[in-house]
Chain A
Amino acid sequence: MSTPRLLEIRQGVLSKNDRLAAELRQRFHAAGVFVVNLLSSPGAGKTRLLEETLRRMGTDLRVAALVGDLATDNDALRLARSGAPVRQIQTGDMCHLEAHLVEQHLDGWNLDDLDVLFIENVGNLVCPTGYDLGEAARAVLLSVTEGEDKPLKYPGAFVSADCVVVTKMDLAEAVEFDQRAAEANIASVHPGVPIVYTSARTGAGLDAWMEWLEHHRCSSHR
């Protein structure tokens, strides 16, 4: 019996996705589109936050959204009410978005006609983390109803965040949300990451969120 020979490869398992994401990033940059990937667990309020964001941003900028779910186009229908172009990505049974899905769903859109593109990922704090979609920034949402220790339980997502958006602050008192503990937990897995506290329902904190987006949008074009 012949002895096997060892071939060195050193290739990332997700290298195909990474390559495609890098191409997308170049396309977005060349067209001047600022792309934000929104991550959270299911029900943390991504769609609600995005509804408000599209509505506010849409007055000054040309904004669009891609929204990922395993099934239904409910979120796309909700978001489309803002008047922005919206497309649903149905992943079937896949728990995350991949770069090729983003690329496919851009088909027919002229990127030069856009300023900002939001990609609402599938609700999941684990699987989407390792998949680069070519975004310029990644925002991770944490709703007050989920508990302050979520960042400790799912550090991967929070480590990868450029901004943490705490949502549903209007419920903070009812669920006895400990803001200080949440802040400490976020800082312990990702020191220095910006945190904004929002309520899409009352509008509280949305100005800070819009400012963060605008600041990053401008700096990403430099």
Chain B
Amino acid sequence: MHELSIALNLVEIVEEAARRAGAECVVAVHLRLGAMSGVVREALEFCFPLAAQDTLLADARLEIEMVPLVLACEPCGREVRPAKGSFRCPFCGTPSAQICQGRELEVSGIEVPDSEPTVEEAETSACSGSEMDDRPGTADGKRDVGR
């Protein structure tokens, strides 16, 4: 159960990227999660809101794309997708240790509000669901969360 560490790492990376882009909040995080990443999707989904508290990701959605295991099969000379829990080529039955994909644990992208909201837009902007506006240091979107 290391999904909380993973979630904290995820939040840190995304916050840095969001700050670089000058965004004051993050609307969504797109994550590619390999079948062999060792990360349990449900556990990560549970931990994500905890890790995201009091950060630019406080109201962000976590969108997970599962990446199936793909092996290189030498006898068949191609990439194959084995049955769940198997490391054998579904065509010739040869086990393979050459993993082409399935280890991914990668942020593919994030969604941030398109631009600085105008005064009128501020109430309905993508960030407005956040309670952050009441807190110190949030006005310029550069509040340090201490990690």
| Interface, chain A (partner B; CB < 8 A) | 1-17, 94-96, 98, 126-127, 129-130, 152, 155-156, 159, 187-193
User: Could you give 20 example pairs across A and B, Cβ below 8 Å?
Assistant: A2-B113, A2-B121, A2-B126, A5-B112, A5-B114, A6-B110, A6-B111, A10-B106, A10-B107, A13-B10, A13-B13, A13-B107, A127-B38, A130-B2, A155-B36, A187-B95, A188-B87, A188-B95, A191-B87, A191-B97
Residue of A nearest to B32 (CB): A10
Q: Which of B5, B28, B88 has the most CB of A within 10 A?
A: B5
Chain B residues within an 8 Å CB radius of A2: 113-115, 117, 121, 125-126
A-B contact count (CB 8 A): 114
Chain B residues within an 8 Å CB radius of A15: 13
Residue of B nearest to A122 (CB): B2
Q: Do residues B17 and A11 form an inter-chain contact, with CB atoms below 8 A?
A: yes
Chain A residues within an 8 Å CB radius of B30: 6
Chain B residues within an 8 Å CB radius of A96: 2, 5
CA distance A191 to B86 in the complex (A): 12
Answer whether A94 and B21 are a contact pair too, CB < 8 Å, given A11-B107, A14-B105, A193-B97.
no
Interface residues of B in 5-49 (CB under 8 A from A): 5-6, 9-10, 12-14, 17, 21, 27-28, 30-31, 36-39
Please report whether the interface of chain A is mostly helix, strand, loop or mixed according to DSSP. mixed
Q: Which of A8, A16, A130 has the most CB of B within 10 A?
A: A130
Chain B residues within an 8 Å CB radius of A191: 87, 94-97
Residue of B nearest to A189 (CB): B87
| Apart from A1-B126, A5-B114, A14-B9: 17 A-B pairs, beta carbons within 8 A | A4-B113, A4-B126, A5-B111, A7-B111, A8-B108, A9-B17, A13-B13, A16-B9, A98-B5, A126-B38, A127-B38, A130-B37, A130-B38, A159-B36, A188-B87, A191-B95, A191-B97
Distance from A4 Cβ to chain B, minimum over Cβ atoms (Å): 4
Q: Do residues A189 and B95 form an inter-chain contact, with CB atoms below 8 A?
A: yes
CA distance A16 to B9 in the complex (A): 8
Q: Do residues B36 and A127 form an inter-chain contact, with CB atoms below 8 A?
A: no
Chain B residues within an 8 Å CB radius of A98: 5
Residue of A nearest to B126 (CB): A4
